[in-house]
Amino acid sequence: SAVISQKPSRDICQRGTSLTIQCQVDSQVTMMFWYRQQPGQSLTLIATANQGSEATYESGFVIDKFPISRPNLTFSTLTVSNMSPEDSSIYLCSAWSGQGGEKLFFGSGTQLSVL
Amino acid sequence: AQSVTQLDSHVSVSEGTPVLLRCNYSSSYSPSLFWYVQHPNKGLQLLLKYTSAATLVKGINGFEAEFKKSETSFHLTKPSAHMSDAAEYFCVVENYGGSQGNLIFGKGTKLSVKP
């Protein structure tokens, strides 16, 4: 199994600033994903983080707003840029671990509040 | 401490028979609870959510779940399984303001549907 460490667990930020969220997996994983859960809503996929290449973004999400890095098979970051109060959400990292049995693992999320 | 336990890692049913996926939670306050489904190569899809309104929650694709506070359970059911229901299902508790994290996922239950 894989263990995902996501940090920070929560932050309060000022409008116009940026926050980078880190996701560290304790083993190499095939695919990593970033989700957002806005208050009262369900999880929405932001993008798939691709190792060594640009992330694949879902409709409604763009790289300028949510730049993603994935320098290796165990680590990824999501940056929320030029934040506004509408960006206040939980952001979640998840990963597929494929070692003979594909299994999905999750971080515990980052609760972001933008003032 | 908040936690989510999915009691079965794998459930196998025949097409047309009922589905029961079990989930127990531990929370010190009235939680928000979710069931998500993950199909291969797809993102998480929300099936249903409980947010302290009606205890019987109806979701998409014929699924429903009943919140039972006395049993701390939120089991997912469907009267008649379809082949397209074969997927991995996750029970999730939302943990705003908690110390353990923001979204706590169960380990998942893989549902197989036999013809």
Token pair recorded at residue A52: 């060594």
Token pair recorded at residue A89: 């959400």
Cβ of B102 within 8 Å of Cβ of A10? The answer is yes
Measure CB to CB from residue B102 to each of A90, A94, A102 and give the nearest one.
A90
Residue pair B104/B91 in contact (Cβ under 8 Å)? The answer is: no
Provide CB contacts within 8 A for B68, sequence distance 6+: B55, B74
* Per-residue confidence (pLDDT) for residue B60, from 0 to 100: 92
Compute the distance between CA of residue B17 and CA of residue B19 in angstroms, rounded to an integer: 7
Mean pLDDT of B79-84: 96
Residue pair B85/B76 in contact (Cβ under 8 Å)? The answer is: no
The Cα-based distances of A19 to A12, A56, B3, B55 in angstroms read 10, 20, 28, 37
Cβ of B101 within 8 Å of Cβ of A104? The answer is no
Could you list the mean pLDDT of each consecutive 10-residue stretch along chain A, which spans 115 residues? 87 96 91 87 87 89 96 95 95 78 79 93
Compute the distance between CA of residue B61 and CA of residue B16 in angstroms, rounded to an integer: 14
Exposed/middle/buried for residue A95 (C-beta within 10 Å: 0-12, 13-18, 19+): buried
Mean pLDDT of B9-31: 91
Measure CB to CB from residue A109 to each of B49, B51, B103 and give the nearest one.
B103
Compute the distance between CA of residue B38 and CA of residue B85 in angstroms, rounded to an integer: 10
- Using the 8-state DSSP alphabet, how is residue B91 labeled? E
* Per-residue confidence (pLDDT) for residue A78, from 0 to 100: 98
A interface with B, Cβ–Cβ < 8 A, is 9-10, 33, 35, 37, 40, 42-43, 45, 58, 90, 92, 94, 102-104, 106-111
Measure CB to CB from residue B36 to each of A43, A90, A107 and give the nearest one.
A43
Cβ of A111 within 8 Å of Cβ of B108? The answer is no
pLDDT digits (tens, 9 = 90+) for B31-68: 788 999 988 767 788 899 887 778 899 999 999 999 99
Q: How many CB atoms within 10 Å of residue B14? A: 10
